[in-house]
Structure 1
Amino acid sequence: MDSNVNAINGCHQSIVTIDDVSFFYENKKVIERLNFDIYERDFVGLIGSNGAGKTTLLKMIVGLLKPSAGEVRLFEQPAGSFRDWERIGYVPQKNAFNPLFPATVREVVLSGLYGKKKMLRRLTKADHQKCDDALYAMRIEDLADRRIGQLSGGQQQRVFLARALINNPELLILDEPTVGIDAETQAGFFNMIKHMHQHHHITFIMVSHDIDMVQSYIGPEPAQKSGGLSFYVKHTHELQDCKETNLTHSMQQLRETAEMLG
């Protein structure tokens, strides 16, 4: 980033630091010497053609892949030693899911509450209420007891959106989050995440093929290009006037918007 951007962000915590990162797959270059910083409450739209490395980059950020060279840091900690994964919500591409996975919708959404250090703790009444709120917000409460493999693609993606939101993450990573979802629900979801970015303490990274949607909110020009990747960045470091700042309020905004559109 340029010096002006660095000056703007100088007093804000780095959420993701990508430091001279390269990734090679079977000797094929996917990402080469990428440097990029994402600060608290940034909204980053990541655009690129197929094979440009968008999903690879997200997987390195969430610890599913290790860089071939360089380092990824999360909340100023090396990704390799980062343990507070509940601070990050992640929605992978729909095609990354095994449709035969034997779990109900409710079980999948509740799994978003668990980090590795919390796998064995007992679910509380508050946990179940968070799940109910997420199901309601995504308009899938009537699917709670269905096996996820029985759902349509659009329904499955709503489940994974609910799972990512349930833990009130500080960083929300979305890899083509609205693929397979109808146009009205796409509009409602995008309105919700814009509201969350403007009023709540959440940083966003979103991969999308819909460049018009990204540019409509972030602006027409990328902040940085690297190889086939373009990074669009909107900085929102001052909370706008909003009486409610909890996640349930944001999800209610989605529900109300979706109902109006529907």
Structure 2
Amino acid sequence: MTTAAASAGTTASTPAVQLDHASFGYAGRPFTEGVTLTIPKGEVVALLGPNGSGKSTLVRGLLGLTDHVAGRVEVLGTPLAGLTDRSRIGYVPQRHTLSASVRSTVREVIATGQLAGRPWWRRPTAQDRATVVQAAETVGLADRLDTDVATLSGGQQRRVLIARALASRPEVLIMDEPTAGVDAANQDVLAAVLRRLAGLGVTMLVVTHELAALRGIVDRIIEMDAGQVSFDGTPSQYAEHRATVSRAADAGHGDHHPYDHGYDQHDDDSGLLSGAGPMDGPVEEVTP
């Protein structure tokens, strides 16, 4: 599975995402303020923060779903307002299951990911159909293409949603809690999918509360609090940051962190800092 070739005017050195004192919000009122960061192409970034910290507002802003209130925002070298080809950004929403109200096969659901980049009157080409198969192969569901999605487990349905996002061959993939709502075994399968995508050089911004599930996959961690970036660094730097916060709290100089990403010394021993991952082999099938 490969992503789309870089569009005219962009190069390998063009950042995937560039924010300079950017603010996003609703009805013209900012909810995230003064965010400055650069995400290079091919980087895998975990976006952390408690509920209400602004992380969802930020990613929805990159998708054009919240108001761009202030600052400079560029995606793939293009100002956000001028990014007309939204298929260049893939999105996996925070949804645990697919609706069973309309009967659809895995193939049909994945194919809907191509609709945004194709005129309504043009029928799918042979290349379109091949890309759907490739997306299914990437998430380990090639043998389920003609299966009714309603019969799949929650973890399998989440993989269908990832494949749907990949069907447009995006240059940036944004995922909201991809490992949420599934058991530990299926979390490992989903982590293997993300590891495979990282190996293919896909730029990923992953909103998560479960950092331990992504050990050895993320290159960088960005933490938000009260609408602003409170930390930006590598996994090893984040471990030091958390240790400092914990020591300060234990010494009575501050509060414990208000949320838990499942990141502790056990996670360090399990390989988040060393780069070892939960699954280095092929994607395997896990049933509920």
What TM-score do the two structures reach when normalised by structure 1?
0.71
Aligned position for 2:204:
204
Secondary structure of the equivalent of 2:204? strand
Aligned position for 1:249:
none
Secondary structure of the equivalent of 2:283? helix
Aligned position for 2:284:
258
Write the mapping of 1:7-26 to structure 2, written as runs, cut at 5 A: 12-25=13-26
The percent identity for this pair of structures is 31
Bigger radius of gyration, 1 or 2?
2
Aligned position for 1:8:
none
Please say if residues 188 and 213 of structure 2, whose CA atoms lie closer than 8 Å, have aligned partners that are also in contact: no
CA distance in 1, matches of 2:97, 2:60: 12
Structure 1 residue 167 displacement after superposition: 3.0
Unmatched runs of 5 consecutive residues or more in structure 1: 1-10, 236-252
Q: 1:218 to 1:131 in 2, by over 3 A?
A: closer
Aligned position for 1:171:
172
Q: 1:213 corresponds to which letter in structure 2?
A: A
Please say if residues 94 and 176 of structure 2, whose CA atoms lie closer than 8 Å, have aligned partners that are also in contact: yes
Q: 1:143 to 1:101 in 2, by over 3 A?
A: same
Q: 1:92 to 1:231 in 2, by over 3 A?
A: farther
CA distance in 2, matches of 1:145, 1:191: 22
1:139 and 2:141 are equivalent in the alignment: yes
Aligned position for 2:250:
none
Q: 2:53 corresponds to which letter in structure 1?
A: A
CA distance in 2, matches of 1:179, 1:55: 15
Structure 1 residue 15 displacement after superposition: 1.0
Secondary structure of the equivalent of 2:51? coil
Q: 1:62 corresponds to which letter in structure 2?
A: L
Please say if residues 26 and 66 of structure 2, whose CA atoms lie closer than 8 Å, have aligned partners that are also in contact: no
Q: 1:127 corresponds to which letter in structure 2?
A: D
Structure 1 residue 102 displacement after superposition: 6.6
| Equivalent residue pairs, number | 232
Q: 1:232 to 1:208 in 2, by over 3 A?
A: farther
Q: 1:92 to 1:107 in 2, by over 3 A?
A: same
Q: 2:119 corresponds to which letter in structure 1?
A: K
Structure 1 residue 54 displacement after superposition: 1.5
Aligned position for 2:183:
182
Please say if residues 20 and 72 of structure 2, whose CA atoms lie closer than 8 Å, have aligned partners that are also in contact: yes
Structure 1 residue 109 displacement after superposition: 0.7
Please say if residues 47 and 208 of structure 1, whose CA atoms lie closer than 8 Å, have aligned partners that are also in contact: yes
Structure 1 residue 172 displacement after superposition: 1.1
CA distance in 2, matches of 1:35, 1:57: 11
CA distance in 2, matches of 1:139, 1:112: 16
Secondary structure of the equivalent of 2:163? helix
Structure with greater helix share of residues = 1
CA distance in 1, matches of 2:123, 2:188: 36
Please say if residues 157 and 180 of structure 1, whose CA atoms lie closer than 8 Å, have aligned partners that are also in contact: no
CA distance in 2, matches of 1:173, 1:53: 15
Q: 2:201 corresponds to which letter in structure 1?
A: H
Please say if residues 44 and 231 of structure 1, whose CA atoms lie closer than 8 Å, have aligned partners that are also in contact: no
Structure 1 residue 227 displacement after superposition: 3.8
CA distance in 1, matches of 2:216, 2:209: 13
Q: 1:97 to 1:60 in 2, by over 3 A?
A: farther
CA distance in 1, matches of 2:60, 2:15: 18
Write the mapping of 1:44-59 to structure 2, written as runs, cut at 5 A: 44-59=45-60
RMSD: 3.6
Q: 1:122 to 1:27 in 2, by over 3 A?
A: closer
Q: 1:82 corresponds to which letter in structure 2?
A: L
Structure 1 residue 149 displacement after superposition: 6.0
Secondary structure of the equivalent of 1:56? helix
CA distance in 2, matches of 1:88, 1:135: 18
1:14-50 Cα distance to aligned partner (Å, 9 max, x none)? 1111222223446875311111111111111101111
Unmatched runs of 5 consecutive residues or more in structure 2: 1-11, 236-278
Write the mapping of 1:116-135 to structure 2, written as runs, cut at 5 A: 116-135=117-136
CA distance in 1, matches of 2:127, 2:171: 19
Please say if residues 92 and 175 of structure 1, whose CA atoms lie closer than 8 Å, have aligned partners that are also in contact: yes
CA distance in 2, matches of 1:230, 1:101: 43
